[in-house]
Structures are given as structure tokens and as C-alpha cells.
Amino acid sequence: MHSTRPWEMLLLPQTTSTQQEGRRLCAEKAGVRRAIRAVQQTKGRGRRGTRWVSPVGGLWCTLTIPAPQGADPFDNLLVALAAREAVSGLLGPIQSCLALKWPNDLIIHGRKWGGVIAELCGPADQQEILFGIGLNLQIEAETLHQHPGIPEETTSILSEFGHSPSPEEVLESILLHVDRLLEEDRSTGGRERSRLQVAAVLDTLGRRIRWDGPGDQTGEGEAIEITADGTLIVEKDTPAPREMCQLRSARISHVRVRKDG
């Protein structure tokens, strides 16, 4: 990925999905770094196609980034980290409870307020990564939970702190952080530094988790490490000898507090 190209900005009052708009624009013209933001989405979706409610007051956007070498799964964590750092910086000292949950959620004390999805599109010689970012920012809890099917633990920055930066401010900061994190990650020794940055705010580590992966693979164990390609290493609940499991794609739930907390 080339993080030095300028971003082409597109603001839509309303759209079905910024991911859908991103795919359309990439098909029309490849090789452009875009930030597509909608004030409101009517058919937003999360990981695995789940519905994502997108009212006014949140940040609903898609970043399209040329990826001629193909997808790097770790970049999804870097974009999530960029979103976390952007909101943290705008909130100030009260932000220390903002964390990541593997593989793509942003959480506050275990409650989800945002997420990132990544999709690869385009022909092999003109591939693009579409990073969909959804953040509950200036949204009252009552607005979120008036929609059927929204999990009870879903929250927003406004609900948690009593105030929130605007979607415009957050997107501007995210783009700066994405550029910085990608540039640092591609430098000598950068991936290990990136891994440590993610691990420092990854609330999943040190917890007992339950997972539901592809092919109905399920299990429980303790998350102990994140690797340089974004894989989550889990020590499974099995009799001796110790057995490790590598999760590359799964839906997880935290079922035990961290050892350090």
C-alpha cells in the first residue's frame, strides 16, 4: 500500500452502504485512495454481513486503498488502531478505557462502540482494499436501542463520556493516523513495533474466550498472543499436553476477565 498519496474525499448525505459505493467507484477508476463518508446509511453492515445501524451522528465511511500486492490481514488491526487513536486523541485524558477486541471491534469496558471490516475487490493486477469503518459517536443510547436487534451492550462515545468529537473531526484524524501507522509498519522492524502497539490495547489478550469460526469450528481457551499477520494464538481448554490454536477468522466472546484486571 502507498500511504503517501493524497486522499480523495467524498461526502454523501445518505447512501445504502459506503462499502457498496466504494466497490462502485473502484470499478470505475482503480488506484485512487478515497475516503467515502455518509451522514447516514440505510443498509450498513458489519462483519459476516450482519446489519449495522447507521443513524446521523456516527462515522460511517469506507477507505479504498490500492493493494497491488494483495491483502495483508494485519492492516485491518492497524485501521482499527487508527480509529482508536483518533478518538482517544480528541477525547483527551479520559480515553484510557478505549480498547480493541479481536479481530475488528472497538470497545469500552467490554461494550462495542465501533468496528472495522476489510474487503478485497478488483482484478488481480488492480486490487483494492476497502476498509469499512463504523463508529457510534454523537449518538444517544436511546437512539441506538430503538432499533430492534441491537445488542444490549452496544454503546456510543456520547453515552459513555457525555460528549463526543464530530464525525468530521474523527475522520480527519483517522486518515492522519492511517498514513502514519502504515508508513511506520512498512519501515525496517516496523511490523514488530506495530504488533506491540496493537497488543498494548487489545483487550482480548489475557482473557478466556469462546470462539465460533469457519466451518462451525468452536472452542474455548485463553488468548495469549497476537502474531505479525494478525493471527490470535489461543491455549485451548484441553487436558495435558498443552494445545495451541491459531485463529485467523472467527467470532469471539470474552468469557473471563483479564489476569491483570
CATH number at residue 164: 3.30.930.10
Output the pLDDT for position 258: 58
pLDDT, position 259: 54
Any idea what the CATH number is for the domain that residue 249 is in? 2.30.30
Is a pLDDT exceeding 90 seen at residue 243? Answer: no
Query: In this structure, are 181 and 218 located in the same domain?
Result: no
* Same domain, residue pair 148 and 50: yes
b/e sequence 81-116, b meaning 16+ C-beta within 10 Å: bbbbbbbbebbeeebeebbbbbbbbbbbeebbbbbb
Same domain, 159 and 218: no
Judge whether 3 lies within some domain.
no
For residue 76, pLDDT over 90 is answered with yes
Within a domain: residue 170?
Answer: yes
User: Is the confidence at residue 2, as pLDDT, over 50?
Assistant: no
pLDDT band at residue 96 under the 50/70/90 scheme: confident
Average pLDDT for 16-30: 94
Q: What's the pLDDT band for 91 if we cut at 50, 70, 90?
A: very high
The DSSP code for 57 is T
pLDDT at 141: 86
CB within 8 Å of 188: residues ≥ 6 apart: none
With a threshold of 0.95, does the pTM exceed it?
Answer: no
Q: What is the pLDDT of residue 260?
A: 54
102 secondary structure, DSSP code: T
Q: Would you tell me how many other CB atoms lie within 10 Å of the CB of residue 19?
A: 26
- Res. 46 pLDDT band, cuts 50 70 90: low
Q: How many CA atoms lie within 13 A of 68 on its CB side?
A: 5
Q: Coil, strand, or helix at residue 140?
A: coil
Tell me, what's the pLDDT at 50?
A: 58
- How far apart CA 17 and CA 38 sit, in angstroms, is 8
Q: Which residue has the cell 483479564?
A: 258
Same domain, yes or no: 185 and 212 = no
- Is residue 2 in a domain? no
For range 19-36, the mean pLDDT? 95
CB-neighbour burial class of residue 241 (10 A; exposed 0-12, middle 13-18, buried 19+):
exposed
Are residues 223 and 194 part of one domain?
no
Decide if pLDDT at 153 tops 90.
no
Instruction: Kindly state whether residues 153 and 214 are assigned to the same domain.
Output: no
Same domain, 85 and 197: yes
Is 60 exceeded by the pLDDT of residue 49? Answer: no
Domain enclosing residue 217, as ranges: 208-254
